[in-house]
Structure 1
Amino acid sequence: MFVEMRLVWLWVMLVLVSECYGCLEKERIALLQIKASIHNPNRNTVETWEEAWKGEATTDCCGWEGVKCNTKTGRVIQLSLIVEHIIYWRLEDRCLNVSMFLPFEELESLDLSNNGLQGCLENNEGFEKLARLSNLQLLDLTGNSFNNSILSTLGGLTSLKSLYLGANNLEGTINIDALKHLNNLEELDFSSNRLDGFTTHSDFERLSVLSKLKVLTLAGNLFSHSIISSLNAFPSLKTLDLSNNAINGSIMEEFRNMSNLEELDLGSTSLDDIKGLERLSLLSNLKVLKLDNNILSNSILSSLSGLSSLKTLHLSNSNLRGSIDIGGKSLNINCFTYS
């Protein structure tokens, strides 16, 4: 009897160890199904899973490249299916089956960047299916071929904190009202698309429910000067990147309501002046200001005197000439670039 009890306890311990230190069988199967469905001629992380599956010491999918598990539960919490070398391509006549990711019930981060995925979604259902994954906090769709319609499938992912849509086929004036329910969103990236505006300013007023949004990246689009005043709807914004857009002209007081802003990038936006910033004492938290590759003059420094918290200032390739005297300016700059 004693021997039998010991065998029972040994079996229980083996089960517990397999549950805590190895991935679940259904999740391992799901990973192999993903590999069979998402194939890229350019090597990506899933191409290493078959090698791992064949190796005796690496059958635990928690040790596979791009897969991270919770050490206590053995459940997959991070999936990174990124293509290591960015060579854009397209999936011909194939749709993304979003249901493949539903077995990963504790998934927190899903990276599908640089896979060349199109807006074709199986059964006409999109990423709204992922709303069942209540722990999902990060979704990275950078470097794919999704168009504007992708936004309508993302509005139900209310647990998201970070959403990356850079380098896709988003273009023109888009309606992002579909994202207004993402109340936990802290970071939003629309960079390197062909966007020139949003539907109306009233859309931004409705989007003020995005009270937790801290980082907004709009670099590399076709936005004009008029976009700036619209961004005042995001009261918690700390980092704003508008570089490589067609802002043009001078910046006046459009940033007056962004009192929490700590980093502002206006590089390569064809600015020729930033008059009015000297009156923006409300930007008391601004620590980093990037104005590289613009058409400014030496008088820029006097316009910055009201930015009392400024520590990093970038003015490279901005047409400044001769000598610059910053000794009499009330600036607290630890890092200053000027070339």
Structure 2
Amino acid sequence: MKFDLQAKDPNSKARAGVISTAHGNIQTPIFMPVGTAGTVKAVHQKELKEDIKAQIILGNTYHLYLRPGLDILEPAGGLHKFIGWDKPILTDSGGYQVYSLSKVRKIKEEGVTFRSHIDGSKHLFTPEYAMDIQRTIGADIIMAFDECTPYPCDYRYAANSLNMTHRWLKRCCERFDNTPAKYGYEQTLFPIVQGSVYKDLRMKSAEFIASMEREGNAIGGLSVGEPAEEMYAMTEVVCDILPYEKPRYLMGVGTPINILENIALGVDMFDCVMPTRNARNGMLFTRNGIINIGNKKWASDFSPIDAESDLLADQVYSKAYLRHLMHSKEILGSQIATLHNLHFYLWLVNEAREKIIAGEFYDWKNKMVGILGTKL
């Protein structure tokens, strides 16, 4: 993997670049649609490419390991071939899912023992096995195995967890560096900065992660319920330490406003279930604010979903029709809403990129932040 920086905004730490992978280039800043189980919910791969223009999607190690399983993915030739996607894929290591299974998992130095949410079967993820699984899945970018601490989290727990995450990272790197890629192309390992909302721990972690000299780095544990101000403060601390010439990925973030503010702090890559999950619940993000399509005010609004959008569905279908579909629990409603939200998110980061290149990002960002949270 290679990262070429192309421009920096003169009034913020925002930057634009290109990540080169075996499955194509990724223009940054970028938002990555979440395809947990090998599918971005309610969206066809053709729509991801042609309508949404997604450049990279995510797969989830925990879910793909349980179903369909490595015994299916490996003979299929990896996740790319299994799902018919020829662009880049990133997989998380399963650490966040293990964190969310707090009632059915045990964390030890060896790794994490957990029970499947599907059938209750018992499994063990070690740092080494997390690397082996992701090698078999075949993602272009894979994540180190870490512990994602909850929020709030006391200092002692955060410090102990951080030290273990660093020990696990050394094991991840050793396993990754001593095992070959399986499908004829190279993969890249990203370490993850942790440390909860404690500045000294975040600094310690960022310095350690930087010392590992991998091709890119991630920032975890800042989308688990902490206030946005805490997220921004920790992101700024970390971005000032992580290598400037390597991509920075803020995991699990977030709202359109979160994304713009973190781009301004020097983050290059984002992912979040918000655009897809909220779409299925009737929340639409637009460049003029937020629409709750379930509200009665839209029942007789025959205007396009988003008159300013270049997405065909946003021009063909009215707010009234989409509300009818959602109210009737028709699958098409979720499809249209999801297409819209993902298209908006990709539009947002692409527009940010263009503004960075033009040297106009900071003022544009401030203007958009004042608009995007408006409830229409």
Q: Which has the higher helix share?
A: 2
TM-score (norm 2): 0.30
Larger Rg: 1
TM-score (norm 1): 0.32
